[in-house]
Chains A and B, each alone.
Chain A
Amino acid sequence: MIEIENVHKSFGALQVLKGINLTVDKGEVVSVIGGSGSGKSTLLTCINGLEPIQQGRILVDGTEVHAKSTDLNKLRRKIGIVFQQFNAFPHLTVMENVTLAPRKVKGMSKRDAEEIAVKQLSHVGLGDKLKVYPSRLSGGQQQRMAIARALAMSPDYILFDEVTSALDPQLVGEVLDTLKLLADDGMTMICVTHEMHFAREVSDRVAFFNKGVMEEIGSPKQIFESPQNEETQKFLSNVR
């Protein structure tokens, strides 16, 4: 379970998150929608402790992420994250990209790690690209590799940050299909997304962010069919 309690985050004088409260249960898929700069990406980087917070707390399975005593490297093993921008390790093959963390972080043998990598890469449709370097992959393939890389650590949670926003429209579908498969498998996910169809189809709940505030959260039906908040209504009428 991820518990976000009254989280405040600023970059210098710029307040980016202004008291976020959100609890995500095991097996739940929560989509986060909202305008550019509303703090969606920042929230995800706070959840796995890449960014410090100024107030409030975040608990992952009861462990406080920003507590001094928390071993972040250990905690991060169970929180996968796939970023908005491409982030392949360019000097490693697709296979090595995926096996690096299981080997170095979990101390897995090369054989065991490769077995997992083959499974995960086949799962995202890259079973035939094992020996290829990331620069030879399309954007969609790179994002799917990043998903396989995160999954190879067998995380309990996975955070997706607009994984389709840097892709050409014809590549969006293949990545979203991968996410859908994961959701069907019962993975706990927080997906920041601009794909309203996806949010509607896959999520258990949808949260709307606006200027560092979570204005509204509810079932997809509730948010998309009868949004209560004025800002949500405005945002949705613009993206439709």
Chain B
Amino acid sequence: MFETSLTLNDLMFMLKGAGVTLLITAFAVVGGTVMGLAFGVIRTQIKPWMAIPLTFLLDVFRSVPLLIQLILANAFQAIAGLGLSPFVTSCIVLSLYTSAYCTEIVRGAIEAVPMVTRRAARSLGMTWGQDMTQIVFPMALRVALPSWIGLTLGVMKDSALVMWLGIFELLKSSQTLITRLQEPMFILLVTGAIYFMLSFPIARLGGRLEKRWQEND
């Protein structure tokens, strides 16, 4: 029979880490999505040359490894005397990182709405805003959702890197237990299962919505 010295207390410790992971992910995804929406809409509205600075900035966030961004941002805020906690710093960096990907998703999805559909809306007397809210966003949402779910799940896993700023999220918590209990296989199995349980509802939600939309159009 399988024996482990992992106690209920240890498990609670891990679940607390999972809570931190979930919280950081939620902040990053909400913040990143709001910014991504704004940047994505701006990108489709302005001329290509005017988008260059924004695109460049977002490209930086997408191409510099997240770990480097986290450590640099943390060092920078200390030097600048901003007095931000590692948690806040992590949320900001992850939000920007998420927004960089989200911008591309939003832009692509908006551009996937056929020109003639938008012209039809405008020629019925709808304003730009009405066209965006009634036609473009609902249609774009269907295009963007799979990539957005993928992004969210990715950010959840990437959020483990904030442990390097000393935050006890899920992975860091399990590492601590591994060091103490010397049962790496079992603890990693439990950790993986917890990550799965955090991700599963989000993945399922996406699948459900997609299926419902498919039945319609």
Residue ranges of A at the interface with B (Cβ–Cβ < 8 Å): 45, 48, 50, 73-74, 76-77, 79-81, 83, 85-91, 100-101, 104-106, 133-135, 146, 149-150, 153
Contacts and interface: CB of A to CB of B under 8 A. Distances in A.
A104 B216 contact: no
Interface of B: 114, 116-117, 119-127, 130, 134-135, 138-139, 142, 213, 216-217
A76 B123 CA distance: 6
Contacts of A90: 117, 139, 217
Contact of A91 (B123, B126, B139): B139
Nearest to A86: B116
B216 A50 contact: no
Contacts of A79: 123
A101 B119 contact: no
What are the 5 closest A-B residue pairs judged by CB atoms, nearest first?
Answer: A101-B124, A87-B120, A77-B125, A105-B125, A76-B125
24 contacts: A45-B119, A50-B119, A73-B126, A74-B125, A76-B123, A81-B123, A85-B114, A87-B116, A89-B121, A90-B117, A90-B139, A91-B138, A91-B213, A91-B217, A100-B124, A100-B134, A101-B126, A104-B126, A104-B130, A105-B124, A105-B125, A105-B130, A149-B120, A150-B124
B140 to A, nearest CB: 10
B123 A149 contact: no
A87 B114 contact: yes
Nearest to B142: A91
B216 A146 contact: no
Which of B124, B130, B142 has most chain A Cβ within 10 Å?
B124
A88 B119 CA distance: 11
Nearest to A106: B125
B134 A133 contact: no
A83 B217 contact: no
A77 B130 CA distance: 14
Given A105-B130, A134-B217, 10 more contacts: A73-B125, A77-B124, A79-B123, A87-B117, A89-B120, A89-B134, A89-B135, A91-B217, A101-B126, A135-B216
Nearest to A87: B120
A133 B123 contact: no
B115 to A, nearest CB: 9
B interface: dominant SS: helix
Contacts of A83: 116, 119-120
B77 to A, nearest CB: 43
Contacts of A88: 117
Given A73-B127, A91-B217, A134-B217, A85 B116 contact: yes
A67 to B, nearest CB: 17
A105 B126 contact: yes
B217 A133 contact: yes
Contacts of B142: 91
B4 to A, nearest CB: 51
A215 to B, nearest CB: 28
B144 to A, nearest CB: 13
Contacts of B119: 45, 50, 83, 87
Contacts of A89: 117, 120-121, 134-135, 139
Contacts of A85: 114, 116
A24 B206 CA distance: 52
Contacts of A100: 124, 134
A94 to B, nearest CB: 12
A106 B213 CA distance: 28
B1 to A, nearest CB: 56
A87 B139 CA distance: 13
Contacts of A104: 126, 130, 134
A104 B139 CA distance: 18
